[in-house]
Amino acid sequence: MIRVCHLINDLDLGGAERTLVNVVRHLDPTRFSNEVISLIEPGLFARDLRAAGIPLTSLGMRRGRPTFSAFARLVRQLRQSQPTILQTWLYHADLLGTVAHLFAPRMKLVWNVRCSDIATMPGSHRLQAIIGLLARMSGRPDAVIVNSTSGQIFHEHIGYRPRSWIKLPNGVDTEKFRPYPDLKRHLRRKLGVQAEGPVIGLVARYHPMKDHATFLRASARLAKEYPNARFVLCGNGCDSQNQNLVRLIDQAGVSERTILLGPRYDMNMIYPALDLLTLCSAFGEGFPNVLTEAMACGVPCVATDVGSCREILDDPGLIVPPRDPAALAQAWKCVLAGTLDELSPMVRARAVEYYRAERICQLYESTYLDLAGKELPARGREPAQGIDAVDFGRVSEPRPTVTNSMTG
C-alpha cells in the first residue's frame, strides 16, 4: 500500500482544492491510502473529504502567520503516519512541506504547481519572496507536478530547476457536472434570471487576476445588441457587499442585467443554467477548472489566452487576448450566433474524452507508483520515464508527461 499525505493551504473553494478532492476520491483504494493536512482551518471541501472517509487534519495556522507549534505538529504527524509520498499543493505548502521533509526525510517529496505567472501581480512582494526561495530549493523535491505548459515555462524562467517536471492536467467529475437541458428554465428562475435572452457567466473570485472589469465592459458592449442578455457573477467577493464590484457594474451600465451569486458550493447546478461561460483572466492561470466543469455541463466557453485555456478549448475562435473587452464581446456574439443546442454535446464530449477525473487520476496513480518504485498491475502501460510529450487524445492508456530538467 502506498500512503500519500497531501499538504495544502486550506480547503476553500478553488481549483487546486477541487483537484485534490478529485484525486484522493478516485485513487484506487486497494493500492493507495490518502490523508490530507490543511495549514489553516479547512473550508467547504472538507465535508467532501470527510464524506469519503479521508483522514483530515488542520494545523490551525492563521492565514499568513506560520507558527513553530504548527510546524512541530506537522513534523510529528509525518513521523507518525510515515507516508510513502508527501504531496504538497500550492506555494506555502511547498515551502513548509520541504522544511518538514528535512525532519522526516524517508518519504518522497512532490510539489504541485497550480498557476503560471501569478507572481507578477503588482503588490505581491511576500508571495514573490516565497517563490524566489522555492526556486532556490527546487532541486530538493523528487518531482514537481505542473498542470500547464505555461506554468512550467514561467517557473523555469524564474529559476526552478527540479529533478523532473511532470505535467498532469486537472480532471473533472463528469458524472457530477453534466447537462440538465430540461431543467434550464427552472434553474434560471432559482438564480433570479427571468429574461429569455442569453445568459453569460463568469465564475471567479473577485481578484485582479480574474479581471472582472473587462468582463463588465464586454457585457456593456453585448447588451447593445442583446438587450435581454443577463450576466451572472459567481465566486468569493461577487456579492452586493463588494462595493468596488458594485461600482464597476454601475460604471458599465449593466446593473439591471447583472446577477451576483457570491460563492456557491452547488456549481453543478449553476453551469447548466448558462448559455456561455467566460474566463477573462489577465494573468496567472494554470489549468482553469471552471472551463472543463462548464464544458462537462455542455456549456460553450470563451476564454483569454492565458495558462492552458487554448489547449483546453482547442478552438482559436474561442480564445481572445487578455484585457480586450471588444474582442471578448465579439467572441460572445460569434458563439451566440451559432446553434447552442449543437455546440452543447460537442463541448461535453471533449470534456469527457480528455479530462474526466478517472482518466487524470490514472496519471496520478502512475506518477505515484513510479516515485514509490512500484509497478502497475497487468493491465499494462508504457513506462513514464523519458516521455517528452503525450497527446492525451491519442493514447489508449493515459500517461503523465515527464520532462527531465537536465535534458529540458
For the stretch 289-308, pLDDT in tens is: 999 999 999 999 999 999 99
Helix and strand numbers, DSSP H then E, in the chain? 14, 14
pLDDT at 383 over 70: no
Q: Please say whether the beta carbons of 77 and 37 come within 8 A.
A: yes
Mean pLDDT for 315-336 is: 95
pLDDT at 390 over 90: no
> Which of 41-45, 69-73, 170-174, 263-267 bottoms out in mean pLDDT, i.e. has the lowest?
41-45
- Per the model's pLDDT, the better-predicted residue between 265 and 85 turns out to be 85
Q: How far apart are CA 288 and CA 310, in angstroms?
A: 11
H or E segment and range at residue 341: helix 340-355
Q: How far apart are CA 118 and CA 122, in angstroms?
A: 9
Enter the C-alpha cell of residue 242. 463588494
pLDDT classification of 122: cutoffs 50, 70, 90 = low
DSSP assignment letter at 172: B
Break the chain into its structural domains and give their ranges. Answer: 2-171+357-404, 181-355
Task: Name residue 85's beta-bridge partners.
Answer: 4, 108
Q: Please say whether the beta carbons of 295 and 174 come within 8 A.
A: no
pLDDT tens for each residue of 105-120: 889 999 999 887 776 6
pLDDT at 399 over 60: no
| Nearest one of 287, 293, 288 to 267, comparing CA atoms | 293
- 2-171+357-404 against 181-355: fold identical: yes
Compute the C-alpha angle 142/146/147, nearest 5°: 150
What's the confidence (pLDDT) of residue 316?
85
Task: Name residue 279's beta-bridge partners.
Answer: 303
Across the chain, mean pLDDT equals 88
Give the CA diameter of the chain.
63
Mean pLDDT for 64-84 is: 90
| Nearest one of 69, 126, 131 to 98, comparing CA atoms | 131
- Of the chain, the percentage scoring pLDDT greater than 70 comes to 90
What's the confidence (pLDDT) of residue 408?
40
What's the confidence (pLDDT) of residue 393?
30
Angle between helices 125-137 and 91-101 (to 10 degrees): 40
Q: How far apart are CA 86 and CA 142, in angstroms?
A: 10
pLDDT at 385 over 90: no
Other Cβ atoms less than 10 A from the Cβ of 274: the count is 28
- To the question of domain 2-171+357-404 being in CATH 3.40.50.2000, the answer is yes
Stated pTM of the model: 0.84
Mean pLDDT for 46-51 is: 91
Q: How far apart are CA 255 and CA 23, in angstroms?
A: 39
Domain 181-355, CATH homologous superfamily name and number: Glycogen Phosphorylase B; (3.40.50.2000)
Which amino acid, 200?
I
